[in-house]
Amino acid sequence: MKKVDVILGLQWGDEGKGKVVDVLTPRYEVVARFQGGPNAGHTLEFNGEKYVLRSIPSGIFQGGKTNIIGNGVVIDAVLFREEAEALAASGHDLTKQLCISKKAHLILPTHRMLDAAYEAAKGSAKIGTTGKGIGPTYTDKVSRNGMRVGDLLSPDFESIYAAAKARHEKILKSLDYQYDIAELEKQWFEAVKYLRRFHIIDSEYFVNDCLSQDKSVLAEGAQGTLLDVDFGSYPFVTSSNTVCAGVCTGLGVAPNRIGEVFGIFKAYCTRVGSGPFPTELFDETGERLCDIGHEFGAVTGRRRRCGWLDMVALKYSIMVNGVTQLIMMKSDVMNDFDTIRVATAYEIGGRTTSEFPYEITGDLRPVYTEFEGWKCDLRRYGSYEEFPEAFKRYVEFIERQTGVPVEIPVDDPVALRQLRQLRRQAGAVACGLPNRQSRNEVCFYAVSPSRGRAWGGADSRTRRNAATTAVKEGKGFNI
């Protein structure tokens, strides 16, 4: 029986998961979202057009794949319809490719109002939510008052909705929050009719049946590990479990059915919204990271806060997720930096620790290790030998610190065997770099003493053949 492979972000989100998922999906028959809502987006480029996926799995661009929105996801029917219709206009028939769990919860118009009301009531202590109604929807879920996708099939649908709306209106009145949902409510009911066109399924049975039939399944998360409601920088977190354990509860699969866990992280750190950020830079360096890295939210457009790589947080994320493979993104953003820093410990109240604390307070100070910058365009190089020594020192330091043996999944079985042989000789860190032609197509270099190299992007026979030849010659491999 197959196992579910998982792809996760290891920081505060925006690590580039969508691009990596798009590279990996040719290997898989099923791609599933297991948590979150439309408050996070994956930006992908397909046939020269950019798309932001907020609720729909990234495998939707791969023809013939089954895509699942799992029970751990919350769905806004209005935003879902907008997203689905935009994809349909590009030639993707989602009604044939996309299945939705009956147990996924619905974001109601009043959930959005509650989100805004709660934030307004917090004043300066606000969390910095996207205002999409995610938190109130999960609140209804755990308080057993939620409305689920399966309720759309019930003859009592309208009365279920009315009861939920009435509960919300009482809360809004108590908060003295003024609102008008007439237009939004009209759009929501129209969007609900659209939602009924899709396959609404018992997703836990569907996913486990796929595994029993030896079908390959990839589970993708939405937000990063450090936004997990239990293990993130609480209370400045999202409202669901973004870690690997969330796959079990968000799709209905047993822990022993989890396979590879791909951990995605940037060569530096970013965060959107409020909340602690130990390595945040408030100077010109932070501005440079933001501008060169195009660090703006895919859904909200908000400018991302930027800082140095936080090794304490990264090792914590690897631990709680059981990461088996690392992929580092956007190292080329620092091509022109003279000095690069990595936080390897925290000083808290005069004590030095390498553990991620229960609470990140104002007296926390990161302890940095400095590296000489590589001062060149990494995209110019075609082999490991050509990479500057400064860059190799940076990558190999990360590998030593994390202790995670890293490999990149390869579409070609011959290349995969070769890669695993290389991995037995020495671990490799995968570094995602933008393609020379497009910042939205990812190139992967498998960096190791064995000097592997990999290009990622469109799945093509030409690339697979070239990759197989390269591996046989000891030069590299292709995704």
98-107, 216-225, 288-297, 463-472: which is most confident: 98-107
**What 3 state SS string does 423-465 have?**
HHHCCCEEEEEECCCCCCCEEEEEECCCCCCEECCCCCHHHHH
Query: What is the band of 384 on the pLDDT scale with cuts at 50, 70, 90?
Result: low
Query: What is the band of 449 on the pLDDT scale with cuts at 50, 70, 90?
Result: very low
Per-residue confidence (pLDDT) for residue 157, from 0 to 100: 96
The residue count for the chain: 479
Query: What is the band of 205 on the pLDDT scale with cuts at 50, 70, 90?
Result: very high
Where helices occur in 98-243 by DSSP H, the ranges are: 109-122, 134-142, 157-174, 182-195, 203-212
Query: What is the band of 404 on the pLDDT scale with cuts at 50, 70, 90?
Result: confident
- Strand 49-53 and strand 42-46: the pairing is antiparallel
* pLDDT > 90? residue 423: no
| CB-CB neighbours of 124 under 10 Å | 5
Mean pLDDT of 326-354: 94
Asked if residues 202 and 15 have their Cβ atoms less than 8 Å apart, the reply is no
The 3-state DSSP class for residue 331 equals: helix
| CB-CB neighbours of 17 under 10 Å | 26
Q: List 148's β-bridge partners, or say none.
A: 105
* pLDDT > 50? residue 259: yes
Mean pLDDT of 94-122: 93
Which residues are marked as active site? 14, 42
The 3-state DSSP class for residue 307 equals: strand
Mean pLDDT of 352-362: 94
CA gap 151, 144 in Å, rounded = 14
CA gap 72, 213 in Å, rounded = 23
What's the predicted TM-score (pTM) here?
A: 0.84
Alpha carbon 84 to its chain's center:
20
